[in-house]
Amino acid sequence: MASFEASLIRSGIILPEVAAPAGLYQPALRVGDFIYTSGQLPIVSGRLVEPAGKGRVCDERQDAVVTAARIAAINAVAALRAAAGSLDEISRIVKLTVFVSSEPGFTNQHLVANGASSLLAEIFGDMGRHVRSAVGVAALPLDASVEVELVAACLPL
């Protein structure tokens, strides 16, 4: 089996430290052979990335928010790694959920979600192929443009 840690290095992706929770929850939780992440925002160095990481998404902002979805997915992968101890303990990504703060009439949430999906494929290859939901919402915490959740299967303890 390929090393996902090595894949991360080859891709030049640097995972950040997992941010401290902003409430009464955990960033990721292992239950049996699965790890569930809490929603992760497009935060770098403690702040939402500007300008794509904030505000509601419309057609004109769509491409920029794809990058914000990638950053949120990087933060979700960091939470996975913290819960698993190593990405090499992950056997596959099972489910990706992407919430997009959407202007009325915006219907390309699935294209924004591709930013997160492509990041998972880059790191996990075929084991990064997942089922997915892309959901338009009226608002997200901190006025974020996008929020990402993951469910991953891991090797048995």
Distance between CA atoms of residues 47 and 133, nearest Å = 26
Question: Tell me, what DSSP letter sits at residue 76?
Answer: H
Give the bridge partners for 34, in sequence order.
31, 153
Question: Tell me, what DSSP letter sits at residue 103?
Answer: -
Q: Kindly tell me the sign of the dihedral angle through the C-alpha atoms of 134, 136, 142, 145.
A: positive
Peptide bond into 156 cis (omega under 30): no
| Each residue's pLDDT tens digit, 123-154 | 999 999 999 999 999 999 999 999 999 999 99
Distance between CA atoms of residues 106 and 16, nearest Å = 31
For all residues of the chain together, what is the average pLDDT? 96
Q: Mapping DSSP to helix (H, G, I), strand (E, B) and coil, where does residue 116 land?
A: helix
Q: How many residues does the chain have?
A: 157
**Entry pTM:** 0.96
- Among 32, 110, 41, 94, smallest CA distance to 70 is for 41
CATH architecture of 4-12+28-154: 2-Layer Sandwich (3.30)
Kindly tell me if the per-residue pLDDT of 2 is higher than 80.
no
Confidence tier at 20 by pLDDT (50, 70, 90): confident
Could you tell me the residue ranges of all domains in the chain? 4-12+28-154
| Each residue's pLDDT tens digit, 35-87 | 999 999 999 999 999 989 999 999 999 999 999 999 999 999 999 999 999 99
Distance between CA atoms of residues 98 and 132, nearest Å = 8
Kindly tell me if the per-residue pLDDT of 157 is higher than 60.
yes
